Amino acid sequence: MTISKDIRYIGVNDHQVTLFEGQYDVPNGMAYNSYVILDEKIAVMDTVDAHFGDEWMNRLTAELAGRSPDYLVVQHMEPDHSANIVRFMQAYPHATVVASQAAFRMMKQFYGSDYADRRLVVGEGSTLPLGRRTLTFLTAPMVHWPEVIVTYDALDKVLFSADGFGKFGALDVEDPEGWACEARRYYFGIVGKFGAQVQALLKKASAVEIRTVCPLHGPVLSGEALTEALRLYDIWSGYGVETPGVVIAYTSVYGNTEKAVALLAQQLRDKGCPKVAVACLQHDDWAEAVEDAFRYGKLVLATTTYNGHIFPAMKEFIDHLTERGYQNRTVAFIENGTWAPTVAKEMRQMLEGCKNITFGDTVTIRSAMTDETPAQLAALADGLL
């Protein structure tokens, strides 16, 4: 892949991984992106996961065509991007590694060396001349680690965005749902807690002309795809509502809560709700449910009382929301309990620390729905529209 005349893609596709970071289902694999800039001096932008060191080095060697790189720029120290630093520095003993001060501390922790005699520490606004072009570095702390930098090439108007604008999925697998679906799940799963920091980076990036974004995961973005990605990142990092609609996240032990959820979903559709998404937290991908909770403006939490408290899968789901800064939403509840239906109160308490949450109605079920339940659910639906 050629990004421009002098910028080449040397990343790899991983179809061996099943759980990214040990928790995110990635049926279409992952891409670990790396790039090489061929100027009077040569800069390599990040490495790849340890399992693909041979493939990456072969790709790099082919693009170098007999030349030797001058710099290895390390934007992010997670091992899926930094695992081949040692191998690179051994292969190219005259190269300099370029990174933030915090990254060099992590480098020492991960790999036993911070290359004190072969390093260049960069920070906000630092530059690196390569010849025809000069790279400019911008700090991006907590997007999504504290050491992160991103890199701007003013000649080709390219932003190397580290994990920003990343996406699940290998690049050799066509994604019929488009960029946004798996980029959204990636963002809210991995970056979503740090909305304020992403907003700060977007503000910095808006000060320069960007024609192409080269992330460390997912496809290179340009043209209309880049315009849409920037629009969505602004919404996501500002905790705005991307799509009008309601998501219902539920657990059910004997099927009675599930029946109530199905009825509520149908009532919402019949009343003209533009989108209703339903997630069973015991069987569906929890990261998909988190994604939907941040995508839509209204959320219904429906669960049973279990050992006197919230059913475990629901409690974990709410933890996922709160630790990611859930805010600016309306939340309603369905609780089910045979002798002590009290979980709506507990769920509300878990969310009370979130910003700008409007609490809607609560429907209480004792064991199973009664003749009155449909009307109660209809009233709850009306309050969500």
Instruction: Determine what percent of the chain falls in helix, strand and coil, rounding each to the nearest 5.
Output: 35, 25, 40
| Sequence spans of domains, the chain | 7-237, 243-384
Gap between the Cα atoms of 132 and 53, Å rounded: 30
Tokens linked to 125: 């606004």
Gap between the Cα atoms of 105 and 120, Å rounded: 13
pLDDT over 90 (residue 372): yes
**Length of the chain, please?**
385
pLDDT over 90 (residue 357): yes
What is the model's pLDDT at position 127? 98
From the CB of residue 49, how many other CB atoms can be counted at a distance below 10 Å? 20
pLDDT over 90 (residue 340): no
Gap between the Cα atoms of 160 and 148, Å rounded: 11
State the pLDDT confidence band at 1, using cuts at 50, 70 and 90.
confident
State the pLDDT confidence band at 314, using cuts at 50, 70 and 90.
very high
Q: What is the pLDDT of residues 166-213, one digit of tens each?
A: 999 999 998 888 899 999 999 999 998 999 999 999 999 999 999 999
What is the model's pLDDT at position 19? 94
State the pLDDT confidence band at 286, using cuts at 50, 70 and 90.
very high
Q: What is the pLDDT of residues 11-22, one digit of tens each?
A: 999 999 999 999
Spatial neighbors of 383 by CB under 8 A, at least 6 apart, are 332, 360, 361
Query: Using CB atoms within 10 A of its CB, is residue 283 exposed (0-12), middle (13-18) or buried (19+)?
Result: exposed
Residue indicated by tokens 């899968």? 313
Mean pLDDT for the chain? 96
Tokens linked to 200: 């700060």
Could you tell me where the beta strands, DSSP code E, fall in 57-192? 71-73, 96-99, 119-121, 127-129, 134-139, 149-153, 158-160
Nearest to 189 by CA among 342, 320, 41, 36: 320
Is CATH 3.40.50.2300 correct for 7-237?
A: no
Gap between the Cα atoms of 303 and 257, Å rounded: 7
What is the model's pLDDT at position 2? 84
Measured in degrees and rounded to the nearest 5, phi and psi for residue 345 equal -60, -45
What is the model's pLDDT at position 234? 97
Spatial neighbors of 182 by CB under 8 A, at least 6 apart, are 28, 167, 168, 169, 175, 218
Mean pLDDT in residue range 262-279: 98
Q: Of all residues in the chain, what percent carry a pLDDT higher than 70?
A: 100
Mean pLDDT in residue range 294-317: 96
**How many CA atoms are closer than 13 Å to the CA of 29, on its beta-carbon side?**
14
Q: Of all residues in the chain, what percent carry a pLDDT higher than 90?
A: 96
State the pLDDT confidence band at 315, using cuts at 50, 70 and 90.
very high
Domain 243-384 belongs to what topology? Rossmann fold (3.40.50)
What is the model's pLDDT at position 218? 96
Q: What is the pLDDT of residues 200-253, one digit of tens each?
A: 999 999 999 999 999 999 999 999 999 999 999 999 999 999 999 999 999 999
